[in-house]
Structure 1
Amino acid sequence: MVTAGLIHYVLNLLHITVHIRDVCVFLAPVFSGLTAISTFLLTRELWNQGAGLLAACFIAIVPGYISRSVAGSFDNEGIAIFALQFTYYLWVSAWGGYVFIINLIPLHVFVLLLMQRYSRRVYIAYSTFYIVGLILSMQIPFVGFQPIRTSEHMAAAGVFALLQAYAFLQYLKDRLTRQEFQTLFFLGVSLAAGVVFLTVIYLTYTGYIAPWSGRFYSLWDTGYAKIHIPIIASVSEHQPTTWVSFFFDLHILVCTFPAGLWFCIKNINDERVFVALYAISAVYFAGVMVRLMLTLTPVVCMLSAVAFSSVFEHYMGDDTKREKPPAEDSSDEDDKRNSGNLYDKAGKVRKHVSEQEKAEEGLGPNVKSIVTMLMLMLLMMFAVHCTWVTSNAYSSPSVVLASYNHDGTRNILDDFREAYYWLRQNTDEHARVMSWWDYGYQIAGMANRTTLVDNNTWNNSHIALVGKAMSSNESAAYQIMRSLDVDYVLIIFGGVIGYSGDDINKFLWMVRIAEGEHPKDIRESDYFTPQGEFRVDKAGSPTLLNCLMYKMSYYRFGEMQLDFRTPPGFDRTRNAEIGNKDIKFKHLEEAFTSEHWLVRIYKVKNLDNREPLDHKLRSVVPKQKYTSKKTAKRKRGHIKNKLVLRKGKKLQKK
């Protein structure tokens, strides 16, 4: 946001009139261009200019990065990968992935020390990086004192202290005997390491240094988040990466990337130690979490470029430049003189010159041409795949969906916008909508209605309360919704069109999050069959078949027959006939269902003995139990009169 605001300010200062919306829309594509430049510079530094050019071309079209750099993708990652690559090129910080940088560079320095590759250049570079980076990062109000008070930064501080001790001992090396230096070195390093370790433990115990975050623990223990913080594990971006995702986002680079790493290790130097550490750590983290594929993509592009560059140099280079032909010896001269002889000195039949040339030219040029053509075909296939993925998967808005028929024609599914427009036009402007947190931003932005939870809700217990309402039976859920003043409930249902990202498929995460806060009322095991299966048909758990989410999803669905091959109530997403077709509501009523049944909205009924209150009255009058309807009506009428008088006074003042 700061970057977009600064660009908008500078452009208007130069009298270039640009709307702030346009700056936000095109921010990520502009920075992706800068990312390509920084990748070129970094790869050129690691290998050569040809590899740098290939790396820039790869990262310009690779799906793993384009997914976060298309127009309209206004998020941290749009700028972060440029900052990450440029930081690695200049050896200074970015988004939440900044933790990756601030630990990878110290790791590089530490490994160089272990490999006895210490030099004054490493000392100056890391000392400058750590001190300047620390001071600059602490100037940002959001960051503040986190660089010296969080566990994620302790490795960088420890390596900085170790480097100072190592440099001091190197300084003393020339002034002491070998025996004295070895004794001092052992004592000095042991003492420094012990003091740093005990200091960190003490400061962490006293609370001055914050402990490791749950997201960090989930990187090392893949089951940690599912058990302790299910809300982190419920996010699709935090799931382990499948092989399909690797191929989808990187294509042929998955295969060529190890070859580039081998080339770097084969010809190792200080810079290539860094890229090897980057590659190994990024591969591990990308395998643990889908989101971190973004940090793997740049190094894959760089090392694949090294591999392609090396192959092209070997098979397309000029042989005469690479090596000169050996000088002719006396035996060759004798052979030339006696060219008329049919036999050589060894007694073998002599070959004619034309036959020798044919033997030399027969296999070599053909192999070069074949390998070069294969490499070019791989690059063309990669370009075609990247173009297809970009146009089909990453260029469509997430609100408007598209499906394809067997004949290739496309259907546009506009259910989300349809439902949000209905909410905006047909509900009170103060209405409160309960939905799962995934849709909070969309409801607030497109329907302009208040939501209970959204993508920025930090209160885990509040999200758990919504999950409990969705997981409970209708009567228990109604009590929760009344306590939260809910007017409408919105759910996503994909059983008609086969949409796999609906709320039934997310339901178990709602149960797990609710169980974490309300273990007495919600238990995950209750929603499985005795065989441990999650089923929506007749064999499903009675608790599941009667919970609010199930009833809202399948209300009236049991009467719908989608085609002649399947019975009524057949769920295309789960490939099963639903088990509860006779669904009736007591406390809710259907308010809206979109064209393809993708979005369903239900209205929460008022109590039988109470008339509906408008939202202004609700905020003024606390919830009370009146002795009679007449008393309640008189009380509300009195407050209505007060509100009318207030409006009248305001109008008179105006």
Structure 2
Amino acid sequence: ALFYFHDASSFLLVYAATAYFFSHKMVRLVLLTAPIASILGGLALGRAFGWWIRSIVEFRPSIGQIWQNMWQFGAKDDKNFNNNKSDGKKKSNGKKDVSKQNGGKKEATASSGSKVFNTTKIIIGKLLRVGLGLYVAQTYVKPRGEEFHKTSREKAEQMSHPTILFKGTLQSGEEVTVDDYRDAYWWLRDNTPEDARIMAWWDYGYQITAIANRTTIADGNTWNHEHIALLGRALTSPEKEGHRIARHLADYMLVWAGGGGDDLAKSPHLARIANSVYRHMCPNDPTCRRFGFTQQGQPSEAMAASLLYRLHSHGKPGVEADKNRFREVYRSKYGKVRIYKILSVSKQSKEWVADPANRICDAPGSWYCKGQYPPALQKVLAEKKDFTQLEDFNAKKDADSDYQKKYFENLK
């Protein structure tokens, strides 16, 4: 289809170029390349298979060619029929020239040898093509096809299973069902006021909203990078500073603990997001290398002082959350989730945020009304620098270029 420029082929080319361009701008948009990649891959395989078939049977497997061959075959039959009739008339009118017949026999004998040779060569060539095609299919196509099918099935099964409920094995070897996350959300639903606000990393926002039926500070639909950065700042700042922010936004804090991909494992990423807007978090270090684990597996000084580390590791030797600011109210059966009540919550900020008069609606009486941060956080918000995302097509190329340059240099 791509070798003949028409509406269909031009659409494929434009689609491929557009998907390629935007997938380079935003990683998520790589999904746009899936359909065109499948189409172009199918065209390539179809061309290869068609060439293989034509090289063997000397026939183009297409409906148009079949129809054309049928008409040509019918026309040849008519021509042969007419020739036979004229030959019959010639035979009845006179005798054949004997000398011409003898000459024709000699020419036929000479050409028959070359025809046999050519036929043998063609047969051998076709057999070699068949063998080559079968070898490629057996050696490369079949194993990769089976591997692709197996991987697709495994991914489908993994994605179809609930991620908050899984099997685990205790140190004693006993296999158990770990239901910590759902139990924690149910605890929030049954033991907190209906207007309670839960601060947690945005990954769990939808689960808190759907299962616990409580308001969460952020979820997977929070497109405001600066808001996510404020959440990251509260979690990765020193405990005292983190509490000053949290008390104006939430009533409870939920932390994933227990190892694996818990909040502490994610915390360096949280610090980088916070620093992308609040540059004092990691001065002159866009990737926040000072926030993480040392080579000995111990938390760095910045991590050990952070609010997230205090809540995550509360109760371990040498680690205690400030009891005047946070009180642990729930710990799941296997320690995967810990919930803390935030003490000294600002009632003034909570009432101000809940007041409909302080919401910004896109039109009078509209259902779409954005909330605002309470006035008590304005000093914190004044320290932010709006982040220019790489996916922002309208941003100038030189906007915040030094930060972006250092960020990618540090990733090397």
Equivalent residues of 1:528, 1:541 under 8 A apart: no
Higher relative contact order (CA 8 A, sep 6+): 2
Shift of 1:533: 6.9
* Structure 2 CA distance for aligned equivalents of residues 330 and 375 of structure 1: 51
Equivalent residues of 2:282, 2:290 under 8 A apart: no
Match of 2:292 in 1: 534
Which of 212, 219, 222 in structure 2 is aligned with 1:447?
A: 212
Q: Pick closer, same or farther for the CA change 1:457–1:269 going to 2, 3 Å.
A: closer
Alignment of 1:319-398 (within 5 A): 319-321=57-59, 333-335=108-110, 359=124, 362-373=127-138, 375=141, 378-392=144-158, 394-398=159-163
1:335-355 per-residue CA deviation (whole Å, 9 max, x = no partner) reads 367x7xxxx9xxxxx998997
Shift of 1:525: 5.9
* Structure 2 CA distance for aligned equivalents of residues 290 and 360 of structure 1: 48
Equivalent residues of 1:492, 1:600 under 8 A apart: yes
Equivalent residues of 2:326, 2:343 under 8 A apart: yes
Match of 1:589 in 2: 327
Q: Pick closer, same or farther for the CA change 1:504–1:540 going to 2, 3 Å.
A: closer
RMSD between aligned alpha carbons?
A: 4.5
* Structure 1 CA distance for aligned equivalents of residues 109 and 226 of structure 2: 95
Q: What letter corresponds to residue 274 of structure 1 in structure 2? A: F
* Structure 2 CA distance for aligned equivalents of residues 462 and 358 of structure 1: 72
Q: Does 1:488 align with 2:252?
A: yes
Shift of 1:298: 0.2
Alignment of 1:233-252 (within 5 A): none
- Equivalences, count: 305
Shift of 1:434: 1.4
Equivalent residues of 2:332, 2:338 under 8 A apart: yes
* Structure 2 CA distance for aligned equivalents of residues 307 and 290 of structure 1: 26
Alignment of 1:547-562 (within 5 A): 547-558=306-317
* Structure 1 CA distance for aligned equivalents of residues 175 and 30 of structure 2: 30
* Structure 2 CA distance for aligned equivalents of residues 432 and 397 of structure 1: 25
Shift of 1:447: 0.6
SS at match of 2:59: helix
Q: Give the greater-gyration-radius structure (CA).
A: 2
* Structure 1 CA distance for aligned equivalents of residues 109 and 47 of structure 2: 41
Which of 233, 241, 261 in structure 2 is aligned with 1:476?
A: 241
How high is the sequence identity, in percent, across the aligned residues? 29
Match of 1:126 in 2: none
Which of 305, 315, 331 in structure 1 is aligned with 2:52?
A: 315
Q: Pick closer, same or farther for the CA change 1:307–1:411 going to 2, 3 Å.
A: farther
Which of 407, 411, 414 in structure 1 is aligned with 2:179?
A: 414
Shift of 1:312: 2.0
Q: What letter corresponds to residue 369 of structure 1 in structure 2? A: L
Shift of 1:274: 3.1
Shift of 1:364: 3.5
Which of 26, 32, 38 in structure 2 is aligned with 1:289?
A: 26
Q: Pick closer, same or farther for the CA change 1:448–1:360 going to 2, 3 Å.
A: closer
Shift of 1:540: 4.6
* Structure 2 CA distance for aligned equivalents of residues 271 and 543 of structure 1: 58
Structure 1, unmatched stretches of 5+, are: 1-46, 48-263, 345-349, 559-580, 621-654
* Structure 2 CA distance for aligned equivalents of residues 470 and 590 of structure 1: 16
Structure 2, unmatched stretches of 5+, are: 70-103, 356-412
Equivalent residues of 2:235, 2:307 under 8 A apart: yes
1:309-353 per-residue CA deviation (whole Å, 9 max, x = no partner) reads 1222222356253599xxxx999734367x7xxxx9xxxxx9989
* Structure 2 CA distance for aligned equivalents of residues 468 and 553 of structure 1: 16
1:292-319 per-residue CA deviation (whole Å, 9 max, x = no partner) reads 2211000011011111212222223562
Q: What letter corresponds to residue 490 of structure 1 in structure 2? A: L
* Structure 1 CA distance for aligned equivalents of residues 340 and 51 of structure 2: 67
1:358-412 per-residue CA deviation (whole Å, 9 max, x = no partner) reads 74564233234334555455444433332222122x212343356799xxx9865
* Structure 2 CA distance for aligned equivalents of residues 421 and 303 of structure 1: 48
Q: Does 1:603 align with 2:341?
A: yes
* Structure 2 CA distance for aligned equivalents of residues 601 and 414 of structure 1: 15
TM-score, normalised relative to structure 1: 0.39
* Structure 2 CA distance for aligned equivalents of residues 528 and 384 of structure 1: 37
SS at match of 2:254: strand
Q: Pick closer, same or farther for the CA change 1:464–1:388 going to 2, 3 Å.
A: closer
Shift of 1:494: 4.9
Q: What letter corresponds to residue 309 of structure 2 in structure 1? A: Y
Q: Pick closer, same or farther for the CA change 1:332–1:302 going to 2, 3 Å.
A: farther
